[in-house]
Structure 1
Amino acid sequence: MTPYELWIGLRYTRAKRRNHFISFITGTAILGMVIGVAALIAVMAVMNGFDHTLRSRILAVTSDIIIQGNGVPVLDWPVAVRRLQRLPGVTGVAPYVQAQAMLSHDGLVSGAVVEGIDPELEGRVNRLGADMKAGSLDALHTRDWGIVLGRALARQLGVGVGGKVTLISPQGGVTPLGVTPRLRQFTVVGLFSVGIYAYDSGMAYISLKDAQRLYGLDQGVTGLRMQIKDPFAAPAFAKDLQTRLGPAFYVQDWTQTHENFFKALGMEKIVMFVILSLIIAVAAFNIVATLVMVVTDKEADIAILRTLGVRPRSIQFIFMIQGAVIGLFGTALGVAGGVLLALNIPTLVPAIEHFFHVQFLSPEVYSISQLPSRLEARDVIHVALAALLMSWLATLYPSWRAARVDPAEALRYE
């Protein structure tokens, strides 16, 4: 590419005073590029925000690795805890008992997943203690038949700290009348909220000893939970641990526990990228229309350049430069606007909700009640490159058409 090709291409980009319609189409193409790029960056930031927030909140109540017996309780768990804690990279190990139950209070009933935990050891494998909103997780140690409820679950039951709830366990006793459910009254000693409605409305915690007595496990537990230094190394760590423990145990990492959920989130991110890229594609079609009209308007100029010895390839470069400048300008403005919007989404959305008196994300429907945003440079680069690529592809046909202009035909009536 020579300097004169660049100079003529930039000159054609600026000189549109004779044809206001071409200027309007060019402005539309730039505006479409700006809107498409900005919207795509903002949406990708929101999707990243959802992914990061959900991962952190899920890891707050679940552990990196879960070890369970294959259909049988883990009996000699204190020895297993000591051995697992000595493994390199392990920061904590805790036993747990898990079962389904119904909770009842004052005529209100709700199902829940009830977990028996040791509060002291549990603090090493998750951040549940930091999410307590009332009472204390340690109160499970000091009081028999105490229970900690999710705040949404407590609201459904109409109970607070100090209130009484009845736990109805399906693992009941056998009588001449059949299997009868086991009932036990618990005192609410704490409320927690991790910010995910499914957990806040469906989880309850009791002490490990109470769970063992309630479900008749003696000294056994459902399994062990482990925390490691690097949560993203959990798949490899779990695979190695499964090899060590053998088929008597089932080892599962957090990516497997919520595999379908995160796969769906990743697929949604890809689909949103493809759908919003269509906005950029429409803007690219506007670039095609702009350049086709410019070529038609500049046929006489093209013919004169050809008679002066300018090669067809150089004519192509001239109009490719013009289209690239339009795409580059629109992409740059779109990136600036998208980054600015993505960084201010946590502030803008609450302001819009307050102004219009609406709530976009109801906590009873969605896992997250606030719109998060997490801007990643990788996504900004991918969006910018996609926009520039579409802009460049949009210049191919008009520039090819310009290179095929016949000087004799173009100058016949000049």
Structure 2
Amino acid sequence: MYKPVYLFIGLRYLWNSHLPKFKKFITLLSIIGIIISTASLIIVISVINGFEENFKKNILSFIPHLIITNKNKCINKSEFPKNIVNLYNFEKVSDFINQEVILRSKNDITIGEIIGIDNTNNENITNYNLKNVLNTLQPKQKNAILGIELAKKLHVHIGDKIKLILLPDKKFFFKEIFNEKTFKIVDFFSTNNEIDYYQILINKEDSLEFLHFPKNFITGWRVWFKQPLSLNLDQIKKSLNNFVLLDWKSQKGEIFKAMTIEKYIILLLFILILIVAILNIFITLTVYTIEKKSSIAILQTQGLANWKIILIFIIIGSSTAIIGNILGTVISVLLIMQNDFLKFLIKIFFDEIDISIIIVPHQIFFINIISIFITSISTLYPAYNAIKLKPAKILSHE
């Protein structure tokens, strides 16, 4: 006698040569459904991980995760809130000077943003892929470095001069004239990011003079965090009541929100595939309960406990889920490892898309556990119906 008997019976009813073709087809269909849903979920989540990593690398590395300033956007350095460094996930902070201005060349005019830099901004300067920036942007020399796309928009070249025009405050519009200064273009930066279209780098002392800021005054502080996607602005506001706080979502929140909505919609579609596969298992076990009433009754009369009968149904259902999950996981990991082949498949539907795929092991483990758990839960109702059968009543008709 095979032991444990409930394991032997469960695996025998899962698959054997004597099973009708229809039942084999239903079992295979359930396994294939779980394979497709598991593999799809792992691949989609890995692609989404890649998108989020690119989002952090290409966008959130250039824009600050949190801006601390005041209503006038002109604040003394001595007012720096020291408790900001105690925030969860804090990485680095630097003061900054920026202002939206009008840029005018000989033939064109556009809106841009000046960024004042000096040796306190070394970590941020590296993002611009420039060498010897501080030597190039010496104070009082009125030199400027433009984003490559901004330069194309203004049709300017290295050595040309552009005018920066600062609009006066609306309160004093009739009292002040436009502040205008001429800067010489000494270089371009290219980051393959949207800042190439509007940013212009100048020396911090030149920017202070241009903006008429008092000495030791700045626009505010830029703060970066290790996990910007989990930034809780409301919690930070409680500890910094006297400041104006702007997080990265104020600039890029809509992009991230759209990306999040798309993620949940895609995940929902593949979860529906998983639900269909689980329903197939549920229907199969319900049919087994009806067809094998006599066999179940005999097992009960032979002394097989009700919990062991329940285990037989759980083994049939969970075995299907385990087989499907293992095969789905292996297929998805192989496809992800063969990155070029997966990109080829994606490019059939999308042209000129560059994706990175990042596997997170605990996500794969979570997907597999949830799938097996839900499948096991779906077996409980057919199992409950099976143990409700009364052996004496069923066998009296045999």
Pairwise same-fold verdict (TM > 0.5) = yes
Q: Structure 1 pair 151/242, CA: closer, same or farther in 2 (3 Å)?
A: farther
Distance 1:187 1:17 in 2: 86
Partner of 1:205 in structure 2?
A: 201
Distance 2:203 2:190 in 1: 18
Partner of 2:114 in structure 1?
A: 114
Q: Which runs of 5+ in 1 are unaligned?
A: 361-369
**Amino acid corresponding to residue 190 of structure 1 in structure 2:** D
User: Is 1:141 aligned to 2:135, yes or no?
Assistant: no
SS across alignment from 1:372: coil
Distance 2:173 2:224 in 1: 49
- The two structures have a TM-score, normalised by structure 2, of 0.78
CA contact (8 A) 2:165 2:181 kept: yes
User: Is 1:391 aligned to 2:375, yes or no?
Assistant: yes
Aligned pairs (5 A) from 1:129-168: 129-132=126-129, 136=133, 138-141=135-138, 144-168=141-165
Distance 1:48 1:323 in 2: 31
SS across alignment from 2:213: coil
Distance 2:152 2:346 in 1: 24
**Amino acid corresponding to residue 359 of structure 1 in structure 2:** E
CA contact (8 A) 2:95 2:222 kept: no
1:342 Cα deviation after fit: 4.2
SS across alignment from 1:189: strand
Give the counterpart of 2:351 among 349, 358, 377.
358
Q: Structure 1 pair 379/163, CA: closer, same or farther in 2 (3 Å)?
A: farther
**Amino acid corresponding to residue 101 of structure 1 in structure 2:** V
1:158 Cα deviation after fit: 4.1
CA contact (8 A) 2:47 2:358 kept: yes
Partner of 1:61 in structure 2?
A: 62
**Amino acid corresponding to residue 96 of structure 1 in structure 2:** F
Aligned pairs (5 A) from 1:17-28: 17-28=18-29
User: Is 1:42 aligned to 2:43, yes or no?
Assistant: yes
Q: For residues 54-87 of structure 1, what are the alpha-carbon distances to aligned partners after superposition, in whole Å with 9 as ceiling and x for unaligned?
A: 2234453245664434426235x4x779x97xx8
Q: Structure 1 pair 104/23, CA: closer, same or farther in 2 (3 Å)?
A: farther
**Amino acid corresponding to residue 327 of structure 1 in structure 2:** A
Distance 2:203 2:160 in 1: 17
CA contact (8 A) 1:303 1:410 kept: yes
SS across alignment from 1:171: coil
Partner of 2:98 in structure 1?
A: 98
CA contact (8 A) 2:325 2:368 kept: yes
CA contact (8 A) 2:336 2:342 kept: no
Aligned pairs (5 A) from 1:1-400: 3-15=4-16, 17-63=18-64, 66-71=67-72, 73-75=74-76, 77=77, 94-105=94-105, 107-118=107-118, 120-124=119-123, 126=124, 128-132=125-129, 136=133, 138-141=135-138, 144-171=141-168, 181-197=178-194, 199-219=195-215, 221-225=217-221, 247=242, 250=244, 269=263, 272-345=266-339, 347-348=340-341, 350-352=343-345, 358-360=351-353, 370-400=354-384
1:392 Cα deviation after fit: 0.8
Q: For residues 284-321 of structure 1, what are the alpha-carbon distances to aligned partners after superposition, in whole Å with 9 as ceiling and x for unaligned?
A: 11111222233344344334333433344432221221
Count of matched residue pairs = 390
Higher mean alpha-carbon deviation, 280-289 vs 199-208, is at 199-208
Q: For residues 70-105 of structure 1, what are the alpha-carbon distances to aligned partners after superposition, in whole Å with 9 as ceiling and x for unaligned?
A: 426235x4x779x97xx8999976543221123344
Q: Structure 1 pair 253/29, CA: closer, same or farther in 2 (3 Å)?
A: same
Q: Structure 1 pair 42/108, CA: closer, same or farther in 2 (3 Å)?
A: farther
Q: Structure 1 pair 317/330, CA: closer, same or farther in 2 (3 Å)?
A: same
Q: Structure 1 pair 151/41, CA: closer, same or farther in 2 (3 Å)?
A: farther
1:195 Cα deviation after fit: 4.4
**Amino acid corresponding to residue 381 of structure 1 in structure 2:** F
Q: Which runs of 5+ in 2 are unaligned?
A: none
CA contact (8 A) 2:116 2:202 kept: yes
Q: Percent identity, aligned pairs only? A: 24
**Amino acid corresponding to residue 351 of structure 2 in structure 1:** V
**Amino acid corresponding to residue 116 of structure 2 in structure 1:** G
Q: For residues 134-177 of structure 1, what are the alpha-carbon distances to aligned partners after superposition, in whole Å with 9 as ceiling and x for unaligned?
A: 99464222783333233333344444544444434323899999
Query: What value does the CA root-mean-square deviation take over the aligned residues?
Result: 4.3
Distance 2:113 2:182 in 1: 16
CA contact (8 A) 2:146 2:200 kept: yes
1:106 Cα deviation after fit: 6.0
